[in-house]
A and B are shown apart, each in its own frame.
Chain A
Amino acid sequence: MLKSSIYINGIGAVSPQGVGSGNVFSNSINAPQYEHGFISCIEPNYTDYITPNNIRRMSKLIKTSIVASKLALKDSTTEKPDAIITGTGMGCMEDTEKFLKGIVNDEGSPSSPTAFIHSTHNTISSQVAIALNCTGYNSTYVHRAASFESALADGIIQLQEKDSDTNNILVGGVDEITSTIYDITKKLNFWKKDNKENIPLYTSKTKGAISGEGMVYFSLSNKLAKESYAQISAVKILQKASSDTIADILYDFIKNNGLKVADIDLVVLGNNGDVRYDYYYKEIAKQFEENKITYFKELCGEYFTSSSFGLAFAATKLKSNRGKFRKAILYNQFHGMNHCFYLLSNVEV
C-alpha cells in the first residue's frame, strides 16, 4: 500500500481510439482497423501544439508524446509539472532505423546528425521538458513491458517524498510501431500470422498478438482535485512469475491493501489473444465474477507500454461510474514476464 495518496488528475492520449483526454476512453469505443497488419494511432493536428519548424524535424513518437503531455496537463489544469518521467519499451524506432540505414549504406562517412539526436530514448522526456520549459526531475525508463510501470513507480516516490516541493508530475507510457519493426517482430513470432480483419481477441486460439501503439501521459498529484479520475492505491511489479502462483500473488496484493477479492468491482485485464501466454490472465479472471471483467487490448493493440492505455481506460471507467465502481484491479504481463498489478480506488470530489 502506498504511504500517501496519489491521484490521477489528468490524462492525455494519442491512441488508435483518438486524441484527447478521458473522452478517448469513455466515448463509444470503436474496434480499430488494422489493414497494414498493425493498429496505428489517429494522429493529432500538430499545428495546435508544436511550432511548424519542430513539426518538420520531429518524428511521430516525439510529436505525439508532446501532444499527449500537453493534453494531460490541460486536463488537470496544471500549468507546469514538477517532474517528467517517461517509459518507452523501444524508444524512437523511426529515427533509429533512419540512422541505422545510413550506417549500413555508408559507414564512416559524414552524415546528418538529426536522426541520431532524435533517436536516443531520453529524447522524448527531454523534448517534452523543452516544450513545457520544465527544469525539474527528468528521467526515462526502458524496461520492456514494465517500462511504464517503472516510470510510474519512480513518480510515486517523487510525490511521496517528505519536505519535497514535488506535487504535480507527468508520467507517460509511449511506443510507436513502424512497418520495419512490425515486420521484424513478426519474424520473432510476436504477432498473429493472418490479421487482416478484426478478430475476437479474447477467445482466440492462435499464437501471437495484434501489434499496436500509443502515447498516454498522466498528470499525477498528491492532492485530490475536482478533475481527479481515481486514486492509485498500489502498484506491484514482478519481473517473473509462474502461472501456478499468479493467483496467490493477486490474493496477497489485495490482502496487503486491506481488501478482499469481493471488494473489487472492476477488473481490467491485458489479454492480447496470444494463446501461448493468455493463461496467466485466465488464472486471474477465474478469481472474479465474469461481469466484473473487461479488456482493452483490442482497442489499442499490444506494445510494451500498452498498460498505460489500460490504466487510462480503468481510471476513466471509475470516473464515469463514481457510485458503482469503488475498487479496480488492472493486471498486465508480456510473454509471461513483467507482471504488473495496479489497485485503483474511486474518489469523491
Chain B
Amino acid sequence: MRRVFVTGIGITSSIGFNVKESYGSLCTLHSGIGAIKLLDTKLKDKLPAGEVPATDTQLKERLNIKDKKTYSRTSLLALLAAKEAIDSAKIVPSEEQSPIGLINSTSVGGMDKGEVFYKNYINGESHNSLKNALVYDCGNSTECVADYIGLTGFTSTISTACSSSANAILYATKLIKSGMHEQMVAGGADALALYTINGFNSLMILSDEHCKPYDKQRKGLNLGEGAAYLVLESEEALMKSGKKPLAEIAGYGNACDAYHQTASSAEGLGAGIAMRKALATAGLEAKDISYINVHGTGTLNNDLSEGNAIAELFGTSVPPFSSTKPYTGHTLAAAGAIEAVFSILSLQNQVIFPNLNFKEQMPELDMAPVTTLKQGERLNHILSNSFGFGGNNTSLLFSAC
C-alpha cells in the first residue's frame, strides 16, 4: 500500500485565523471560548461558545470576495482554511497534471442561512430570501471551496456529525492509498447556528461554564465554530516535487458504536474498535503511541466512554493525553480536522498542548490529562479521536516524518 503524507495545513477557529495565530494561542494557553457576540440567540448570556471573531462581511473582506453570491458562514470559514492549506502546500491547482480532489465535510452546512430563510418562509416573506435556501444543503459549501480554490478533480461531502472531517481525512487517505488519486484536500467546516446551539441545549449537554474535559466536575461541552483542511499527497507525488512533508497519515479506523443515537456505550465499544483499527492499519502497537489528542468534549457520557476505551486498550500505560476543546469549543464537523492540525503541530514542534480547566480526576478512571504545556517531548506517533452522534467513531494516527 502507498504511504500518504500531509504537505499543507490550514485552520480558522476562535483561537486564530490561521496556523500561526492558532499555534500562538495554543502555546500561550489562550482560549477562544467566551460570551457569544455575533450569533443572535437568546442563549447568548447563558452559554459561552468559541466564536470566530469576525462577521460574515469581515470574513469576505479577508477572502477578497466581491461578488454578490450568497455564502453561508460555514462556506466562508471553509474558504479561509482551505486557501491557507493549499498555499502552505505550495501546490497550484491548475498546473497540476492530475486534478486535485476535495473531500469536504460539514454537519449543518448552510443552516445559518437556512434558518433565516425558514423564518421568513413561515411568515410568508420567503421571496426576499430564496437565495438563502439555495445555500442550505451540505454540498453547497463543498462547491464553494472547489470553485474558489479552482479544484476540478473528484469532489465529495461527508456528514457524520462530530467525526465528519476525521472521516473526510480518512476517505481522502484511502483514495490516495488505493492509487486513485495523487493529491487531495480534506477537512471540514461548521459555523455556529441557532439550530445547533438550540439542538445541543435541548440535549442538556451544554455547559454554562468553560468546559473541563475529563474533570470530575465537568458539566458539558461548549460549542465552537471553525474549519480546517489538510493537503494530502502520495509518496510518489512527493518524490517528484522533492517537497518535505509535515507528517504522515499512518493509520485510521472507523467503527460504529451501534448503541444509541446520541449516547456512547459506557465501555466505549466503537471508540475502542476505531483506535485498534488505526493501530492495525499503521502496523503499530499501543505502546508506540506518544500522545492522544482525545475527543474529550467535556460531557459526562463522552469522557467516561472514551476514557474506558483508552483504559481498555492501553492498560496501565496510558500515554499522555489532552483535549484541546477547551481552546476552541466543540467545532462539530470541523473538530476532526482542527485537531488533526493540532496533532501535526504537536509532532512538528514536539509539544503537547494542555487540557485547560482540568482540576479534579474522574473517580471512574485511573488517568488524568496533561495540564501544562509540555515542550521538548519525544513525540513520534499521535492518535487523534473524533466521535460523533450515532456512534460514528473515527481515530486517525499521525506519525512524525
Interface residues, chain A, CB within 8 Å of chain B? 3, 84, 89-91, 97, 99-104, 107-113, 116-123, 125-127, 129-130, 132-144, 146-147, 150, 153-154, 157, 160-162, 180, 184, 187-188, 237, 239-240
For A123, the closest partner residue in chain B by CB is B390
Tell me which of B122, B138, B201, B260 contacts A104 (CB under 8 A). Answer: B122
Could you show 5 A-B contacts with beta carbons less than 8 Å apart?
A129-B391, A139-B392, A142-B138, A157-B178, A188-B130
- Once bound together, how far apart are the Cα atoms of A102 and B202, in whole Å? 11
Query: Which B residues are CB-close (under 8 A) to A130?
Result: 258-261, 391
- Which of A99, A127, A130 has the largest number of chain B CB atoms within 10 A? A130
Tell me which of A116, A120, A134 contacts B390 (CB under 8 A). Answer: A120
Query: Which B residues are CB-close (under 8 A) to A153?
Result: 156
Contact, CB under 8 Å: B122 / A101: yes
- Once bound together, how far apart are the Cα atoms of A237 and B101, in whole Å? 12
Query: Which A residues are CB-close (under 8 A) to B133?
Result: 184, 187-188
From known contacts A90-B137, A123-B390, A144-B139, infer whether A110 and B158 are also in contact, taking CB-CB under 8 Å: no
Query: Which B residues are CB-close (under 8 A) to A162?
Result: 1
Contact, CB under 8 Å: B126 / A110: no
Separation in Å of the B159 CB from the closest CB of chain A?
4
Top 6 A-B pairs, shortest CB-CB distance: A126-B390, A108-B42, A138-B256, A116-B199, A144-B139, A113-B202
Contact, CB under 8 Å: B270 / A184: no
Contact, CB under 8 Å: B156 / A141: yes
Contact, CB under 8 Å: B202 / A112: yes
For B47, the closest partner residue in chain A by CB is A108
Pick from B167-175, B231-239, B288-296, B335-343 the stretch touching chain A: B167-175
Contact, CB under 8 Å: A144 / B137: yes
Given contacts A100-B114, A104-B115, A107-B42, 7 further A-B contacts (CB under 8 A): A104-B122, A125-B256, A125-B390, A126-B261, A138-B390, A142-B158, A180-B121
What does DSSP make chain A's interface, helix, strand, loop or mixed?
mixed
Q: Does B322 contact A (CB under 8 A)?
A: no
Q: Does B331 contact A (CB under 8 A)?
A: no
For A337, the closest partner residue in chain B by CB is B143
Q: Does B146 contact A (CB under 8 A)?
A: yes
Q: Does B155 contact A (CB under 8 A)?
A: yes
Tell me which of B143, B161, B201, B255 contacts A120 (CB under 8 A). Answer: B161
Query: Which B residues are CB-close (under 8 A) to A138?
Result: 160, 254-256, 390-392
Separation in Å of the B272 CB from the closest CB of chain A?
10
Separation in Å of the B180 CB from the closest CB of chain A?
8
Separation in Å of the A227 CB from the closest CB of chain B?
25
Contact, CB under 8 Å: B138 / A121: yes
Contact, CB under 8 Å: B202 / A184: no
- Once bound together, how far apart are the Cα atoms of A240 and B152, in whole Å? 8
Contact, CB under 8 Å: B269 / A139: no
- Once bound together, how far apart are the Cα atoms of A127 and B258, in whole Å? 8
- Once bound together, how far apart are the Cα atoms of A140 and B161, in whole Å? 9
Separation in Å of the B266 CB from the closest CB of chain A?
15
Query: Which B residues are CB-close (under 8 A) to A135?
Result: 255-258, 269-270, 273
Separation in Å of the A296 CB from the closest CB of chain B?
22
- Which of A122, A153, A188 has the largest number of chain B CB atoms within 10 A? A122
Contact, CB under 8 Å: B256 / A103: no
Query: Which A residues are CB-close (under 8 A) to B154?
Result: 237, 239
Tell me which of B121, B254, B261 contacts A118 (CB under 8 A). Answer: B261
Query: Which B residues are CB-close (under 8 A) to A143?
Result: 138-139, 142, 155-157
- Once bound together, how far apart are the Cα atoms of A13 and B134, in whole Å? 29
- Once bound together, how far apart are the Cα atoms of A220 and B29, in whole Å? 49
A-contact bits for B122-145, CB 8 A (1 contact / 0 none):
100011001001100111001100
Contact, CB under 8 Å: B41 / A122: no
Q: Which of B211-264 contact A (CB under 8 A)?
A: 254-262
A-contact bits for B63-91, CB 8 A (1 contact / 0 none):
00000000000000000000000000000
Query: Which A residues are CB-close (under 8 A) to B43?
Result: 108
For B117, the closest partner residue in chain A by CB is A184
Query: Which B residues are CB-close (under 8 A) to A101?
Result: 122
Separation in Å of the B101 CB from the closest CB of chain A?
10
- Which of A121, A129, A154, A161 has the largest number of chain B CB atoms within 10 A? A121
Contact, CB under 8 Å: A122 / B126: no
- Once bound together, how far apart are the Cα atoms of A117 and B1, in whole Å? 39
- Once bound together, how far apart are the Cα atoms of A9 and B201, in whole Å? 44
Contact, CB under 8 Å: A116 / B202: yes
From known contacts A111-B198, A137-B254, A139-B392, infer whether A117 and B262 are also in contact, taking CB-CB under 8 Å: yes
Separation in Å of the A302 CB from the closest CB of chain B?
15
Query: Which A residues are CB-close (under 8 A) to B391?
Result: 126, 129-130, 138
- Which of A101, A136, A160, A184 has the largest number of chain B CB atoms within 10 A? A184
From known contacts A89-B137, A135-B256, infer whether A121 and B262 are also in contact, taking CB-CB under 8 Å: no
